[in-house]
Amino acid sequence: MGRSPLTETQRFWQKVDKSGECWMWTAGRDEKGYGTFRGGDQKMTKAHQWSYRERVGELPPGTEIDHLCRTRACVRPSHLEAVTHLENVRRALAKNACDEGHPFEVYGGVWCCRICTRRRLNAYQNERRRSAGAVPGGPGSAQRAMTHCKRGHEFTPENTTTNSQGHRWCRECTRIRSAAKRERQRQERP
């Protein structure tokens, strides 16, 4: 006899780590760091919005959810409050430094800490390189392990351009792109 499928609520809460002050969403996140959840209607929704609706109720018209803890992946209902967009922006601007004391600024189109964001991005990229089986040894090591470019051209000394960080480019692909660009420009001339 098979197990009965999990309810939507059970599926949601099994993706939440409640071990800290913030209840962190452990499943998928969007590009801004908000958790995403596919509900019973098969539509993607923000995890913090689903949590608020589940535990508190529907959002009043003209409001959005503000994370009182300023942690986008947090879904703890007591850390979420329905406020107007203007109030949400005002609160975000009032906090002018991250938890480590670095100043907030607009970076990548988002009001955030540039130092912490770069640190997280570098850690993510390093982990991707490690999981791809890259040769250890610094910047560009993952690319150095490749023997051919994306289009299948071999990386030979005659067909390779390398920058100071160790990143390589295929000269044949560069020639193809340049020729295509020249052709587009030639066709656009009157």
What are the pLDDT tens digits along the chain (190 aa)? 556 688 889 999 999 999 989 999 999 998 888 999 988 778 899 999 999 999 999 999 999 999 988 888 999 999 999 999 988 888 877 777 776 778 877 766 667 778 888 888 888 887 777 766 554 555 555 555 678 777 788 888 888 888 766 677 888 888 888 888 888 888 887 7
Strand stretches in the chain, DSSP E: 16-17, 24-25, 36-38, 44-46, 64-67, 80-83, 104-107, 110-113, 160-162, 168-170
CATH of domain 1-95: 3.90.75.20
Count of CB atoms situated within 10 Å of the CB of 150 = 8
Other beta carbons less than 10 A from residue 113's beta carbon: 19
117/105 Cα distance (integer angstroms): 11
The three-state secondary structure class of 65 is: strand
- Residue 12: predicted pLDDT: 92
- Residue 135 confidence (pLDDT): 46
CATH 3.90.75.20 maps onto the chain at: 1-95
Q: How far is CA 7 from the centre of its chain?
A: 28
